[in-house]
């Protein structure tokens, strides 16, 4: 406010040359303009006053060509320097009394900033400001300070500073101050002079400032200054919290304590405060086995230390307390830590009825504890590990599945299976079981290679047991087959009806035309070791259908029918025909069944090479070829197909 302001409006071009005017609220305030070199100017100069604040100035130009004039506006803000601030509040205060001071700054624009300080120290906590806009033209700022001075603040100046960089500059302030007079009425109190804290807990040595406010607090133990900052077990003991708290009290904290409390130039000392800690025993420890075999003697040790006076100890299973026959207790005072150490040793044999029960060690110290300290171990009493094998021999067909069973008593933690003394990897798809839950071993798709000696081994972490030797045999399924189904053997010769047997038969039988063959005399074989049937001195009566039957006690199998058709006895006749001799083998065929359409071959041998006139004769008649008959001279044979009565 009071500054000289010039507003210039410049218009370029226009024909004819335009007019340029300044308006405020649609009223012309300046219509003078100059035209130079195609540019028209209008400069309006005024001195800023309060009423110019937030005023809008408008420049309009027109030359009669435009339908409406062109315009531009300018918004004006007028900065106002705030009035000198006022500071009100008490100037004489009793130390420690919370008091209020108020600083007021008015007529500033834009809003001014305010702070309060004591000497050069500005207030943060306790000081607030409230800023409000008055009539849209200026701001009023009210600062409020709530503060409880001490005697250290006596004769000090309390200042209020108002900053307004727009009118006063960035570093200049309007300042007002009050001289303070702080009166002392300093009084402290120690409500308790003896403490008996329990070790491990906290003890607070209470000092109360009744009148005034502490500015410095020092604590002494046995006339030595306590450095509370370097010992994390101490807290408080300062002007903010005069009482001294000892955290995690130790026996070493015993002694005579005194506090020296200062307010400004005044100092007060407490009476002697005696601290006599009682030692709470540390939480006892109980060690020993938690898993033990029934009937086995175990040893357990319970240790308690750090108590004063002497603690007592006992051990129990459930609610049954052990006596001196099972438990020994030793106690010892340890001067270095000014406390007792107690050791209890238990030697005891649990049985299976103690499984799942809890072994306790109780430490009693009525001087510091309302209830006993208790530590415990839950016991697992195991049945002695043992193993039996219900079956020691298995004979299983290949491709089948078998489970080798074992019965285990106790609580095994690991099961291992061995085959021929080699550890089996039972996690493969070939096997299942073999675990502490399913100890039996299941072998799938049995093959010959699975045969062998198996042993199961179990352990419970302490004991290890092994099964008896278990023999597994892989049995091949019983089957029989023939190598030949038709035998044509000459009479008096020997023939063997061969078969192939897979598996392990227990009995073998031969049947001829469904009748059991008795293997004696001319018949031999037909046994497990020699299943083929041998017939010596074959006769025509041996002709027929033969079948082998084999069994292994469970399965019975048979071969396909085997046909035996003996060839008749040979009769040799010598016939002299002209100049050569023909030896004609004649066969005696008996019981030829025409329905079977058998073929007969007659073979002749000559004594000379003149065979060109060889003829075949039948019943002394010349045999001619006819339907179904074939004569082959070069081989000296006669083939007769489909024999009939004529033949």
**Predicted confidence (pLDDT) per residue in 313-344, tens digit:** 999 999 999 999 999 999 999 988 889 999 99
- Rounded Cα distance between 565 and 486, Å, is 8
Residues 83-139 pLDDT 10s: 999 999 999 998 788 999 999 999 898 999 999 999 999 998 899 999 999 887 889
Domain contains 244 = yes
Domain contains 437 = yes
Tokens 């195991």 belong to 382
> Residue 475's pLDDT band (boundaries 50, 70, 90)?
confident
Residues in Cβ contact with 596 at an 8 Å cutoff, skipping those fewer than 6 apart: none
Between residues 3 and 173, the one the model is more confident about: 173
- Does residue 148 have a pLDDT over 70? yes
Q: What share of the chain is helix, strand, coil (3-state, %, to 5)?
A: 5, 50, 45
Three-state secondary structure call for residue 298: strand
pLDDT at 647: 53
Three-state secondary structure call for residue 415: strand
The whole domain housing 555 covers 479-564
> Residue 640's pLDDT band (boundaries 50, 70, 90)?
low
- Does residue 495 have a pLDDT over 90? yes
203 and 147, same structural domain? no
Neighbours of 218 (CB within 10 A): 17
437 and 509, same structural domain? no
- Judge contact between 200 and 249, C-beta under 8 A: yes
> Residue 511's pLDDT band (boundaries 50, 70, 90)?
very high
Domain contains 646 = no
- Does residue 295 have a pLDDT over 50? yes
468 and 484, same structural domain? no
- Percent of the chain having pLDDT more than 70? 88
pLDDT at 576: 39
Question: H/E element holding 475?
Answer: strand 470-475
179 and 92, same structural domain? yes
In the chain, how long is the greatest CA-to-CA distance?
Answer: 183
- Does residue 607 have a pLDDT over 50? no
**335-349 exposure pattern, b = at least 16 Cβ within 10 A, e = fewer:** eeeebbbbbbbbebe
DSSP labels, 566-590: PBPPEEEEEEEETTEEEEEEEE---
pLDDT at 66: 78
377 and 409, same structural domain? no
* pTM recorded for the entire structure: 0.37
Question: The dihedral of CA 421, 427, 428, 431: what is its sign?
Answer: positive
**Residue that is last in its domain, among 542, 564, 586:** 564
**182-202 exposure pattern, b = at least 16 Cβ within 10 A, e = fewer:** bebebebebeeeebebbbbee
210 and 153, same structural domain? no
**Residue that is last in its domain, among 514, 530, 564:** 564
pLDDT at 37: 85
Averaged pLDDT, 204-209: 96
pLDDT at 569: 61
Measured CA to CA in angstroms, residue 526 lies from 60, 119, 552, 591 at distances of 140, 132, 15, 29
> Residue 440's pLDDT band (boundaries 50, 70, 90)?
very high
Q: Any idea of the CA torsion for 245, 251, 256, 258, to the nearest 10 degrees?
A: -10
CA angle 639, 643, 647 (to 5 degrees): 85
Between residues 583 and 155, the one the model is more confident about: 155
pLDDT at 50: 77
Residues in Cβ contact with 185 at an 8 Å cutoff, skipping those fewer than 6 apart: 94, 95, 96, 211, 212
pLDDT at 198: 87
- Percent of the chain having pLDDT more than 90? 60
User: Within its chain, how far is the Cα of 160 from the centroid?
Assistant: 65
pLDDT at 627: 45
Residues 361-388 pLDDT 10s: 999 999 889 999 999 999 999 888 899 9
- Rounded Cα distance between 631 and 395, Å, is 63
Average pLDDT of every residue of the chain: 86
- Judge contact between 20 and 7, C-beta under 8 A: no
Structure tokens at 488: 């044509």
Domain contains 647 = no
Averaged pLDDT, 219-227: 96
536 and 625, same structural domain? no
Between residues 246 and 395, the one the model is more confident about: 246
Beta strands across the sheet bearing 533-535: 495-497, 533-535, 523-525
Domain contains 260 = yes
Q: Is 310 exposed, middle or buried (0-12, 13-18, 19+ CB in 10 A)?
A: middle
483 and 471, same structural domain? no
355 and 308, same structural domain? yes
Residues in Cβ contact with 323 at an 8 Å cutoff, skipping those fewer than 6 apart: none
Domain contains 171 = yes
**Residue that is last in its domain, among 547, 564, 581:** 564
- Judge contact between 97 and 148, C-beta under 8 A: yes
176 and 191, same structural domain? no
Structure tokens at 362: 């109780």
- Rounded Cα distance between 486 and 544, Å, is 10
CA angle 447, 450, 454 (to 5 degrees): 155
Work out how many domains the chain is built from and give that number: 7
402 and 368, same structural domain? no
Beta bridge partners of 260: 218, 269
Residues 257-291 pLDDT 10s: 999 999 877 889 999 999 999 998 999 999 999 98
- Rounded Cα distance between 73 and 68, Å, is 16
Beta bridge partners of 328: 345
Neighbours of 474 (CB within 10 A): 20
> Residue 579's pLDDT band (boundaries 50, 70, 90)?
very low
Domain contains 245 = yes
Three-state secondary structure call for residue 11: strand
Beta bridge partners of 519: none
CATH code, domain with 423: 2.60.40.10
- Judge contact between 379 and 357, C-beta under 8 A: yes
Structure tokens at 311: 């603690």
575 and 544, same structural domain? no
Span of 3-12, 141-150, 541-550 with lowest mean pLDDT: 3-12
According to DSSP, the β-strands at 441-443 and 422-423 are unpaired
- Rounded Cα distance between 313 and 364, Å, is 6
> Residue 407's pLDDT band (boundaries 50, 70, 90)?
very high
**374-396 exposure pattern, b = at least 16 Cβ within 10 A, e = fewer:** ebebebbbbeebebebeeeebeb
Domain contains 645 = no
- Rounded Cα distance between 582 and 454, Å, is 76
The closest of 150, 174, 407, 351 to 262, measured between CA atoms, is 150
Residues 15-39 pLDDT 10s: 889 999 999 988 999 889 898 888 9
Three-state secondary structure call for residue 479: strand
């Amino acid at each position: 406010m009071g500054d000289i302001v010039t507003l210039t409006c410049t218009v370029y071009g226009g024909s004819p040359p335009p007019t340029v005017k300044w308006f405020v609220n649609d009223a012309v305030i300046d219509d003078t303009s100059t035209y130079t070199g195609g540019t028209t100017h209008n400069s309006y100069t005024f001195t800023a006053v309060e009423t110019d604040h937030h005023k809008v100035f408008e420049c309009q130009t027109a030359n009669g060509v435009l339908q409406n004039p062109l315009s531009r506006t300018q918004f004006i803000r007028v900065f106002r320097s705030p009035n000198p601030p006022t500071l009100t509040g008490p100037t004489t205060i009793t130390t420690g009394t919370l008091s209020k001071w108020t600083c007021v700054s008015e007529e500033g624009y834009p809003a001014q900033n305010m702070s309060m300080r004591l000497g050069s120290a500005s207030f943060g906590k306790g000081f607030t400001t409230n800023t409000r806009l008055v009539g849209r033209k200026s701001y009023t700022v009210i600062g409020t300070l709530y503060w409880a001075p001490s005697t250290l603040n006596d004769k000090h100046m309390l200042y209020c500073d108002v900053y307004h960089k727009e009118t006063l500059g960035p570093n200049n302030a309007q300042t007002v101050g009050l001289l303070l007079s702080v009166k002392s009425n300093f009084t402290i109190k120690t409500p308790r002079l003896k403490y008996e804290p329990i070790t491990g807990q906290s003890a607070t040595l209470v000092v109360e400032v009744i009148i005034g406010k502490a500015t410095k607090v020092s604590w002494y133990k046995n006339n030595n200054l306590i450095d509370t900052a370097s010992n994390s077990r101490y807290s408080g003991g300062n002007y903010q919290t005069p009482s001294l708290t000892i955290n995690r009290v130790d026996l070493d904290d015993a002694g005579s304590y005194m506090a020296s409390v200062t307010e400004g130039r005044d100092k007060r000392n407490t009476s002697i405060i005696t601290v006599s800690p009682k030692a709470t025993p540390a939480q006892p420890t109980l060690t020993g086995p938690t898993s033990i075999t029934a009937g086995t003697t175990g040893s357990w040790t319970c240790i308690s230390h750090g108590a004063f006076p002497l603690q007592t100890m006992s051990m129990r299973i459930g609610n049954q307390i052990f006596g001196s026959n099972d438990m020994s207790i030793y106690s010892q005072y340890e001067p270095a830590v000014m406390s007792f150490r107690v050791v209890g040793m238990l030697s005891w044999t649990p049985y299976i009825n103690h499984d799942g029960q809890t072994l306790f060690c109780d430490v009693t110290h009525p001087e510091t504890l309302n209830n006993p300290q208790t530590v415990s171990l839950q016991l697992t009493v195991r049945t002695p590990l043992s193993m039996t094998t219900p079956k020691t021999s298995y004979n299983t067909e290949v491709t089948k599945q078998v489970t080798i069973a074992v019965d285990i008593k106790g609580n095994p933690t690991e099961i291992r299976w061995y085959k021929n003394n080699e550890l089996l990897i039972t996690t493969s798809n070939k096997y299942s079981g073999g675990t502490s839950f399913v100890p039996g071993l299941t072998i799938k798709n049995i093959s010959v290679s699975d045969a062998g000696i198996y042993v199961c081994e179990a352990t419970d972490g302490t004991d290890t047991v092994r099964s008896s030797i278990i023999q597994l045999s892989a049995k091949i399924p019983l089957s029989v087959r023939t190598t030949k189904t038709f035998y044509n053997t000459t009479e008096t010769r020997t023939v063997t009806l061969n078969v192939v047997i897979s598996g392990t038969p227990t009995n073998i039988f031969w049947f001829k035309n469904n009748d059991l063959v008795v293997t004696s005399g001319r018949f031999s074989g037909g046994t497990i070791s020699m299943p083929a049937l041998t017939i010596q001195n074959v006769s025509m009566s041996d002709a027929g259908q033969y079948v082998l039957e084999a069994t292994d006690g469970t399965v019975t199998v048979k071969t396909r029918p085997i046909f035996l058709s003996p060839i008749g006895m040979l009769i040799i006749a010598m016939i002299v025909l002209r100049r050569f001799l023909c030896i004609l083998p004649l066969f005696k065929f008996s019981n030829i069944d025409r329905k079977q359409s058998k073929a007969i071959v007659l073979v002749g041998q000559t004594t000379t090479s003149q065979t060109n006139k060889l003829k075949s004769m039948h019943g002394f008649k010349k045999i001619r070829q006819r339907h179904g008959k074939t004569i082959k001279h070069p081989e000296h044979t006669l083939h007769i197909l489909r024999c009939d009565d004529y033949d």
